[in-house]
Amino acid sequence: MDEIDFLEKSSSHFDELLLAEPKACLEKEIPALISLPEFITEQAKDRKCQEMFLRMEWDEGFPFGHDDYGILRRKTKIDSRIVISRCLRQRILFLAHHTPIGGHPEGRKLYNTLRKYYYWPYLAINCYSTSRNCVECAKERLRLRKRVTGIKLFPATAPLEDIAMELPGPFLKTPRGDIHLLANVDRYSKLVRTVLLERVTYFKIAKAFTTHWVFTNEAPNMLLTNNRKQFNSRLMLQTNRIPSTKELFTTMYHLQTNEQTERMNRTLCEALRKFVSERPKDWELYTGIITYSYYILCHESTGMPPFELVLSCPPGEWHIQIATDRSRNLSLFGKLSVGGFIDYEKTWTEPRGN
């Protein structure tokens, strides 16, 4: 029985363990990313880290050590995770959960994502505590769900081969007019592409699919859609015939065939509701960053982020920036918790002008 299953099945013991660490920070003000000098300084002040530093001097088999930057890490045969000092834990939990790039994940998904990069005692407990004390997540848990069953997936064998397409909604009319959302989902890697459309016509759907999926990834072997007239139009069929894409349709009375997309639509709408509860008509401003948060969070069915399945490399370590000029260029975007964009072990170059 792993740590997560133990916490789920022992509710009485779980409430006692929650007191082991302070509860998650619930302030609305987004804290800044952790600079590298601050991170090293806090590790040197932490009592547990000091004990690890002393033991590293005489215990050769101790599974902790320094990296090239002097950061204390917990090393295993397959990965190396940063040891987080006590005063920085709530800050990382806030950035990983309450920001748009975090996407308000539930406790298990938050734990599976953070455990790939960070280590501290009671990490799983703090992840569940953060999700449990989140006001927006509590509102979403109160919503009633009907006919919640397991998903029956098609046997997709490789990434970017079997794609499902859907038009979630309807959504509220925005101050910029009626905006529709087109979602493309890779049923193997769970990669998602969302496209905002002003109008839903035959030409707009065909152009969005070819521009934002075929030209950026590749033409899929199979495309699964429902029986909307925009999807089974002659233009769409001719567009898929050129790259030899087989198009399949769900029946009008059995939409569960496209359950992968329906489940993704539910996850996307839940995340949108958590951030636009005060201004629901601004939902289209959050679709891009919430889609990216879906990329970098661990998926329950695959056990790894879609980012890693498609690009064959994990996203960078979160919430850590270098205290140089290049980090100031990302200060505004960094407040949305995009520390994964900054990999301090690689050289970062300035973007070229158009």
Tens digit of each residue's pLDDT, the chain (354 residues): 444 443 444 333 333 333 333 333 333 466 777 777 888 888 889 888 888 888 888 888 888 888 888 888 888 877 888 899 998 898 899 888 888 888 888 888 899 889 888 899 999 999 999 988 888 888 877 665 655 556 555 667 788 888 888 888 778 888 877 788 898 888 888 888 899 888 888 898 989 999 989 988 888 888 888 888 888 888 888 888 888 888 888 876 666 677 778 888 888 888 888 888 888 888 888 888 888 888 888 888 888 888 888 877 777 665 565 444 333 333 333 333 333 333 333 333 334 343
User: 180 with 167: CB under 8 angstroms?
Assistant: yes
- Please, which residues have CB within 8 angstroms of residue 212's CB and are 6 or more apart in sequence? 184, 193, 195
Beta carbons within 8 Å of 323's beta carbon, 6+ residues apart: 35, 36, 37, 38
Reduced to 3 DSSP states, what percent helix, strand and coil does the chain have, rounded to the nearest 5? Answer: 45, 15, 45
Q: Tell me the C-alpha distance between 25 and 339, whole Å.
A: 19
Specify the pLDDT at position 151.
55
Q: Has this prediction a pTM greater than 0.85?
A: no
- CB distance 282 to 276 below 8 Å: yes
pLDDT of residue 126: 93
Cβ pair 292, 122 in contact under 8 A: no
The predicted structure's pLDDT at residue 317: 62
Determine the Cα–Cα distance for residues 201 and 231; give it in Å rounded to an integer.
10
Nearest CA-CA partner of 224 in 149, 305, 154:
154
Cβ atoms 71, 80 nearer than 8 A: no
Do 89 and 126 contact (CB within 8 A), yes or no?
yes
Handedness of CA 139, 145, 150, 155 (dihedral sign): negative
pLDDT reported for residue 127? 92
Give the tokens for residue 136: 């927006």
* Peptide bond just before 280 cis, omega within 30 deg: no
Q: State how far the Cα of 317 lies from the Cα of 305, in Å rounded to an integer.
A: 13
User: What is the per-residue pLDDT for 135?
Assistant: 86
- Cβ neighbours of residue 120 under 8 Å, at least 6 residues apart? 83, 84, 85, 86, 89, 126
C-alpha of 143 from chain center: 22
pLDDT computed for residue 12 by the predictor: 37
